């Protein structure tokens, strides 16, 4: 095949003595036998997306390896010295269960230490939210976690956190990227100063668990905790290091762990995907729940920042809740607890994202609490806490199964969220209700919102071009009508323009630019198109709503909303 010049230039750079013999041999093998793989490995450089830098492991500038991570860490080190002049700089590093995470974490530690930065390195795998906590607890300016969340086994990634405990956002992200892009690979300092690398574990663990219990416990009685029957699975990930201990110290004794998925394993051998959004990932946990007659099933993704929850419906069958539903349940519970404690005075807020259910805005309004909305990704919710220091953050979440309780951790946190949803379940059961019944009652009180996600995978260079073309078409030929309903508003976050399609009036949106389009129809439906920042996918988020006058009518009203979603999918040719 004919290889483009920019790819050949990148390949030739990687065949210089800057790169070790193993790397060069792997490239030569690709050149001889896999030109397509060579092209995919070198046609672009890995970029920071909503979740940092994530990609397939291998050789090349479009792959996760010691050189791409080394270059990022060298650039980050240079930026840190500029941002924090004349002061000692400290960084903390955590990593998950994925292949090479431990060795890549040590490479990152080596580069930091070679640049005179004191490094706290977790001695073994840990949940991502503990990294955010540890950053503030240890007084660091920066944190790194090596993880690719729920991506397939061949992936790994690199997430950067700043001194507030949240992931990097403007202006730091742009500044760091500029420094990295102006570096050459031969400028990376790989020779560690081992005196600057300090291993951490149990002390930080104990502090994190203590903080979690303080933030996510709300006066649930010991009897209610003992009466709640829980199934938990770590899906071969990091949560096994902390969640069982958190349950024990919080006073929940009846926890059944899926033993086949207890041991951390980067191959995730018992699931197609370790993604708690997908019912198949929780199949073993659901089977154990029926065997043990449990009330609730909780599964966390490999780096323990997101959780999937299943509860018994009104027929006693286990039903998987979606991320919007768990977010609504936990937010409503938190708001009610704050109200009972007399702590709501108008100076509090909850946060969410533009692709999540609008129902959370209705909840906040009902409790007299401010609502803040940001772009996709928890770094924007964490930034809200920094941007509004005069307000108290109650909690917040997004549709992709992440939630944050209070501000001790500035990222989605499945350790705290696991405890919080058990508080919801235990208190509901104690008063003769269930989590499911609580959700239906919220629909009666605040409106029945139902969401659906369409995710279309387009891999590689060609796939990226297809995704880009889909977004171009949606922009240049905006849909005027969806399922018989006129589109009344189009928000384009790339141009920062919100246009009323009925009047032609345009408003400028005060939000960072992003490749996102949102259509609003006259019946209150919302359809969002967004390419993923961390996966080769384009996603369409559909939200519809109506009134629910009584719990007894739930099934009938849900059927009508399902039909509306089906018609929207057909109208937009997404099936």
Q: Catalytic site residues?
A: 149
Rg (CA), the chain: 24
Which of 490, 510, 509 has the alpha carbon at shortest distance from 501?
Answer: 490
Nearest to 430 by CA among 224, 207, 218, 127: 224
Residue 530, burial from CB neighbour count under 10 angstroms (0-12, 13-18, 19+): buried
Q: What is the largest CA-CA distance in the chain?
A: 72
Burial label for 351, CB within 10 Å (0-12, 13-18, 19+), is: buried
Alpha-carbon span 372 to 394, nearest angstrom: 12
Q: How many CB atoms within 10 Å of residue 527?
A: 25
Which 3 state secondary structure label does DSSP give 350?
A: strand
Q: What are 266's two structure tokens? A: 């980067």
Whole-number Å distance between alpha carbons of 519 and 537 = 19
Question: Residue 396 in contact with residue 351, Cβ under 8 Å?
Answer: yes
Q: 371 is written with which tokens? A: 């609502």
State how far the Cα of 50 lies from the Cα of 28, in Å rounded to an integer: 33
- The 10 Å Cβ neighbour count of residue 37 is 16
User: HSE (CB half, 13 Å, CA atoms) of 22?
Assistant: 5
Per residue, the 3-state secondary structure of 199-231, as one string, reads EECHHHHHHHHHHHHHHHCCCCCHHHHHCCCEE
Strands, DSSP E only, in 321-423? 348-353, 370-374, 392-398, 402-405
The secondary structure of 30-79, three-state, reads HHHHCHHHHHHHHCCCCCEECCEEEEEECCCCCCECHHHHHHHHHHHHHH
* 28 membership: H or E segment, kind and range: helix 21-33
């Amino acid at each position: 095949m004919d290889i483009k010049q920019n790819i050949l230039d990148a390949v030739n750079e990687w065949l210089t003595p800057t790169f070790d013999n193993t790397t060069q041999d792997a490239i030569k093998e690709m050149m001889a036998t896999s030109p397509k793989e060579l092209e995919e490995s070198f046609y672009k450089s890995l970029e920071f997306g909503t979740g940092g830098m994530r990609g397939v492991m291998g050789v090349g500038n479009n792959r996760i390896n010691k050189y791409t991570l080394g270059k990022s860490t060298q650039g980050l080190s240079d930026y840190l010295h500029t941002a924090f002049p004349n002061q000692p700089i400290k960084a903390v590093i955590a990593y998950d269960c994925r292949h090479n995470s431990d060795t890549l974490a040590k490479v990152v530690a080596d580069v930091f230490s070679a640049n005179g930065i004191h490094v706290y390195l977790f001695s073994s795998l840990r949940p991502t939210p503990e990294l955010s906590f540890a950053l503030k607890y240890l007084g660091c300016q920066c944190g790194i976690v090596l993880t690719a969340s729920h991506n397939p086994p061949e992936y790994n990634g690199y997430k950067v956190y700043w001194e507030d405990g949240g992931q990097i956002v403007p202006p730091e992200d742009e500044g760091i990227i500029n420094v990295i892009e102006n570096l050459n690979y031969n400028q990376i300092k790989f020779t560690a100063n081992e005196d600057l690398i300090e291993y951490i574990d149990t002390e930080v663990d104990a502090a994190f668990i203590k903080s979690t219990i303080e933030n996510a416990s709300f006066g649930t009685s010991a009897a209610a905790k003992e009466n709640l029957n829980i199934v938990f699975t770590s899906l071969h990930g990091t949560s096994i290091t902390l969640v069982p201990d958190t349950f024990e110290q919080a006073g929940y004794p009846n926890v059944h762990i899926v033993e086949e998925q207890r041991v951390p394993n980067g191959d995730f051998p018992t699931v197609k995907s370790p993604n708690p959004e997908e019912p198949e990932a929780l199949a073993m946990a659901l089977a154990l729940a029926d065997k043990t007659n449990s009330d609730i099933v909780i599964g966390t993704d490999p780096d323990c920042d997101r959780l999937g929850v299943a509860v018994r419906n009104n027929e006693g069958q286990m039903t998987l809740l979606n991320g919007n539903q768990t977010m609504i349940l936990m937010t409503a519970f938190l708001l009610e607890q704050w109200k009972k404690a007399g702590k709501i005075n108008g100076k509090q807020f909850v946060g969410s994202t533009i692709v999540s259910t609008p129902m959370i805005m209705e909840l906040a309004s009902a409790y007299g609490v401010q609502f803040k909305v940001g772009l996709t990704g928890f770094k924007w919710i964490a930034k809200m806490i920094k941007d509004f220091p005069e307000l108290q953050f109650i909690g917040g979440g997004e549709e992709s199964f992440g939630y944050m309780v209070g501000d001790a951790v500035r990222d989605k946190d499945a350790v705290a969220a696991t405890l919080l949803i058990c508080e919801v379940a235990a208190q509901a059961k104690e008063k003769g209700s269930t989590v499911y019944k609580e959700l239906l009652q919220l629909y009666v009180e605040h409106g029945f919102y139902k969401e659906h996600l369409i995710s279309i995978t387009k891999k590689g260079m060609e796939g990226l071009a297809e995704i880009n073309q889909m977004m171009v078409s949606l922009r240049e030929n905006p849909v005027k009508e969806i399922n018989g309903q006129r589109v009344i508003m189009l928000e384009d976050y790339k141009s920062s323009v919100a246009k009323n399609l009925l009047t032609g009036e345009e408003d400028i949106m005060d939000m960072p630019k992003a490749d996102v389009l949102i259509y609003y129809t006259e019946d209150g439906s919302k359809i969002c198109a967004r390419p993923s920042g961390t996966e080769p996918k384009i996603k369409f988020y559909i939200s519809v709503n109506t009134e629910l006058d009584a719990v007894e009518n739930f099934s009938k009203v849900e059927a009508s909303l399902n039909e509306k979603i089906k018609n929207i999918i057909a109208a937009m040719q997404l099936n």
